[in-house]
Structure 1
Amino acid sequence: MRKRSALFGAVLALTVPVAGAVPALAVLGGTESTEVYPFMGSFQPEYPASPHPDGHGCGVEVLAPQWVLTASHCAGKNPTLAKVGVPHGWEVRVGSLDTASGGEVAEVDHYYRLATHRDEGGFWGKDLALMHLSTPVRAEPLRIASATPPPGTPVRIMGWGMTCNNSNNPECFTSALREADTVVQPEEACEELSPGELCIGSRDGSVASSNMDSGGPALVREGDGWALAGVVSGPSGDGPTLFTSVPEHAEWIKGIIDGTDVPPDDEIPNVEGAVELNGCVGSVVRGPESRPEDAALMLTNGHCVEGDRPAPGGALVDQPADREVPIADPEGWPRVKTRANRLVYATMTGTDVALYRLDKSYAQLEAEGAKVFQLATDPVREGDALAMAYTSQRFGCTAEAVVPHLREGGYQQDDSIRYATTEDCAPWPGTSGSALLAPDGDTVVGIHNTHNRDGEQCTADNPCEVGPDGTETAVQGRAYGQQVHQVAGCLTGSELDLTRPGCTLTRQ
């Protein structure tokens, strides 16, 4: 896999599985712009939230009164990773030197991505997206360059990228547009250059684009004005930046803007109720005795708690917590936002579960339209059909077997759920905590927690099954979920009682 990252996702929780270093400074070697570029804009999505104080996430360029161009991975921050669809809470500010004021602000009501990471070959060299604006802007559009510029061509780059790599430091963000003049480099100056990409910046990296410059332009002079030659895609080691060539995809752009070749919207899976927990997933559940006025509870894995995990053989009980809980609508956009203010319980022994108490009641969540699932009281059995409720899709799984014991990294779970291996049931790292739903779509009967990554025996990320005679068996790629019916037996409303008759959860 290409060892580089897109220059937006390194700060915003990335849904695109790429990794690597980013340059250290915004428009490295550049200066603050003193002249407004009417076509230049800042993409500011409400979701996912940007760490930039002004909400800036990527650069955009106005190509027509109701059309802006950016990078595909910028528009890829939609919950289901759709290629074409309708966003919620996205807007752009164009024609200003400042991300927080001036220029024109318009909402984005549709996005069209040229390619995604799921496409064959990924989106490298095709990292472009068009976004349609709900209202036209007055800014004079930027024209597309007549051809891909050859090495040695002078170009101007610009953006509002970070000035250092620490997203927790306010001084790393700039609201002032920066620019730099540089050149197109030959292919050998960039690492792993893909077809359709330009290598732009200084060979030593002293002039380059940076994190949150994605979608920003590489401009060339044509006639008496600027023309768009490239769009920032990602870094290339510590040297120049990789840009997608815009002229190579001019026909795709023209077909959508003119309305002659507009791709249809993706079919969006129903992912209602999934909770994104920064690398894990949760779901809001009610027990059999829950009342409308009770504080709501969220279920996830014990290994998904913030801070120290519960120790083998033990549990965490009634701990302080402060965790954002965005509950998704059917298309994955946050319908209701609440917070977890208490870790009620967490264990990785016997099962792998954590239960958080939220700052809203079941009645409040229902009034706001949030999906709340019912917590099962019966165990999953061999042959049961399961839907794994991830944040971007629903996996169709079957309980191939109920494994008496599963060991992993010093922990042991009992009556674990092994899934039948199919193309429809192939979870990956990051799907931990996804609810396993009964065919009714409303009842959480289990919770996904692990799969054997490397084929190792009983090590972390490599669970093994333990037979009646103690024989340990590990199969690379096998995935497992855990039972949750034990949780219901320990609840009275939203209160946990580990001494309650019938409660079998591990105690402290």
Structure 2
Amino acid sequence: MRKPLAAALLALAMSGVGAAPALAAEPVAGGSEPIADPDTVTSVVHDVVTSTTENLARSASPSAQAVNFAGTVSLSNCSGSVVRMSNSQDDDPALVLTNGHCLESGFPRPGQVIVDQASSRSFGLLNSAGTRVATLRASKIAYATMTDTDAAVYQLTRTYGQIKSAYGIDALTLQGTRPAAGTAISVVSGYWKRIYNCSIDGFVYRLKEGDWTWKDSVRYTSACNTIGGTSGSPVVDTATGKVVAVNNTGNEDGERCTVNNPCEVDENGTVTVRKGINYAQQTYPFAACFGVDNKLDLSASGCTLPKP
């Protein structure tokens, strides 16, 4: 799970899982820990990690869009983005998407679903260049789980219109349909101000990591070598500019189904381990579960998210 080491240990302490300090502890490149708050650094390098072949193909496509940081957010321990559904209105309370394992209260237990839980968490809103232009604040956790998927949606105290008026920044739109294998994508980390470009390599029937199991996960091609702090990053379809998934984990050491080493399990129960490959959770199911005024309705037609 792509959370920085220091933040992961803090979350474990808060959630009372002190007996397993290695859970989701994620060293970054070179073995060093990430800084506590990258937004305080004045000389941030906007590092774009790419594949030369994929970039050439991307530049040759007239439909490809330049993906930037506008609408993404930095959390104290993860990345995220301000998102809207296709039918969201400007006067709706804005939503922030991140991972379930990025909650300030710690990791949800297997089978646990959190709905309408009060929260005053803050998020650093970024502009297109990756500069922090505002602090947004949550009013509640609208939905969060690590069962079947690894996602959390916060409701903010401001509307989309208020954010647009004050900062000129639009929310990212969640795609309401399942993406396809081969789709060119960008994983946009607000924590690190870094964009990873690659493609969807395929989909995983079941992705198992420690005690958690996720369904129909996205597998990246190897160019998206995400690191600690990229948890919760939006995965953007570069052809449409819409969010199709939320980045959450990768196999670091080649271990089988352990924390920080997820394994793939197919319909027949065959286990495959892909060292160095990273994954995300699809987000199209959320589109059917948020209705008028961005209110969560888990009983809505087509809503398949796990229920409490």
TM-score normalised by length of structure 1: 0.48
User: Given that residues 435 and 446 in structure 1 are in contact (C-alpha distance below 8 angstroms), is that contact kept between their aligned partners in structure 2?
Assistant: yes
Which deviates further from its counterpart, 397-406 or 271-280?
Answer: 271-280
Q: How far off its partner does 1:272 sit?
A: 2.0
Q: How far off its partner does 1:501 sit?
A: 1.3
User: Given that residues 486 and 503 in structure 1 are in contact (C-alpha distance below 8 angstroms), is that contact kept between their aligned partners in structure 2?
Assistant: yes
Query: Which residue pairs with 2:253 in the alignment?
Result: 454
| C-alpha distance 352-367 of structure 1, shift in aligned 2 (>3 A) | same
**Correspondence 1:309 to 2:107:** yes
User: Given that residues 175 and 287 in structure 2 are in contact (C-alpha distance below 8 angstroms), is that contact kept between their aligned partners in structure 1?
Assistant: yes
Query: Which residue pairs with 2:80 in the alignment?
Result: 282
Separation in 2 of the partners of 1:482 and 1:403? 10
Q: 1:353 aligns with which of 137, 151, 161?
A: 151
Q: 1:323 aligns with which of 121, 138, 146?
A: 121
**Correspondence 1:395 to 2:196:** yes
Query: Which residue pairs with 1:410 in the alignment?
Result: 211
Q: How far off its partner does 1:427 sit?
A: 0.6
Separation in 1 of the partners of 2:104 and 2:134? 22
Q: Larger Rg: 1 or 2? A: 1
Q: Which has the higher helix share?
A: 2
State the AA in 2 paired with 1:279: N
State the AA in 2 paired with 1:80: V
| C-alpha distance 441-394 of structure 1, shift in aligned 2 (>3 A) | farther
Q: How far off its partner does 1:473 sit?
A: 1.4
Query: Which residue pairs with 1:18 in the alignment?
Result: 32
Identity of aligned residues (%): 37
Separation in 2 of the partners of 1:409 and 1:331? 37
Q: How far off its partner does 1:381 sit?
A: 1.9
| C-alpha distance 275-405 of structure 1, shift in aligned 2 (>3 A) | same
Spell out the pairing of 1:359-438 with structure 2 (5 A cutoff).
Answer: 359-368=157-166, 369-391=168-190, 392-422=193-223, 425-438=224-237
Q: Secondary structure at the match of 1:476?
A: coil
| C-alpha distance 78-489 of structure 1, shift in aligned 2 (>3 A) | farther
State the AA in 2 paired with 1:451: G
User: Given that residues 270 and 393 in structure 1 are in contact (C-alpha distance below 8 angstroms), is that contact kept between their aligned partners in structure 2?
Assistant: no
Q: Secondary structure at the match of 1:416?
A: strand
| C-alpha distance 472-461 of structure 1, shift in aligned 2 (>3 A) | same
Q: Secondary structure at the match of 1:288?
A: coil
Spell out the pairing of 1:491-502 with structure 2 (5 A cutoff).
Answer: 491-492=290-291, 493-502=293-302
| C-alpha distance 275-79 of structure 1, shift in aligned 2 (>3 A) | farther
Q: Secondary structure at the match of 1:363?
A: helix
Deviation per CA, 1:290-329, whole angstroms, max 9, x where unpaired? Answer: 1111100000011111113222123111111111111101
Deviation per CA, 1:193-244, whole angstroms, max 9, x where unpaired? Answer: xxxxxxxxxxxxxxxxxxxxxxxxxxxxxxxxxxxxxxxxxxxxxxxxxxxx
User: Given that residues 380 and 417 in structure 1 are in contact (C-alpha distance below 8 angstroms), is that contact kept between their aligned partners in structure 2?
Assistant: no
Separation in 1 of the partners of 2:260 and 2:179? 23
State the AA in 2 paired with 1:78: S
Query: Which residue pairs with 1:484 in the alignment?
Result: 283
Separation in 2 of the partners of 1:331 and 1:297? 21
| C-alpha distance 278-80 of structure 1, shift in aligned 2 (>3 A) | farther
TM-score normalised by length of structure 2: 0.77
User: Given that residues 451 and 462 in structure 1 are in contact (C-alpha distance below 8 angstroms), is that contact kept between their aligned partners in structure 2?
Assistant: yes
Q: How far off its partner does 1:77 sit?
A: 4.3
Q: CA RMSD in A?
A: 2.1
Deviation per CA, 1:31-74, whole angstroms, max 9, x where unpaired? Answer: xxxxxxxxxxxxxxxx845xxxxxxxxxxxxxxxxxxxxxxxxx
**Correspondence 1:507 to 2:271:** no
Query: Which residue pairs with 2:134 in the alignment?
Result: 336
Separation in 2 of the partners of 1:496 and 1:404? 26
State the AA in 1 paired with 2:125: I
Q: 1:80 aligns with which of 32, 42, 45?
A: 45
State the AA in 2 paired with 1:396: N
| C-alpha distance 279-77 of structure 1, shift in aligned 2 (>3 A) | farther
Separation in 1 of the partners of 2:258 and 2:42? 33
Spell out the pairing of 1:4-83 with structure 2 (5 A cutoff).
Answer: 18-19=32-33, 48-49=39-40, 77-80=42-45
Q: Which runs of 5+ in 2 are unaligned?
A: 1-27, 48-66
State the AA in 1 paired with 2:75: L
Separation in 2 of the partners of 1:444 and 1:377? 9
Separation in 1 of the partners of 2:46 and 2:198? 21
Q: 2:94 aligns with which of 285, 296, 302?
A: 296
Separation in 2 of the partners of 1:459 and 1:412? 11
Q: How far off its partner does 1:347 sit?
A: 1.0
Query: Which residue pairs with 2:64 in the alignment?
Result: none
| C-alpha distance 320-80 of structure 1, shift in aligned 2 (>3 A) | farther
Query: Which residue pairs with 2:54 in the alignment?
Result: none
| C-alpha distance 400-81 of structure 1, shift in aligned 2 (>3 A) | closer
Which structure is higher in RCO with an 8 Å CA cutoff and minimum separation 6? 2
Deviation per CA, 1:244-294, whole angstroms, max 9, x where unpaired? Answer: xxxxxxxxxxxxxxxxxxxxxxxxx93222211122101000112211111
Separation in 1 of the partners of 2:89 and 2:33? 45
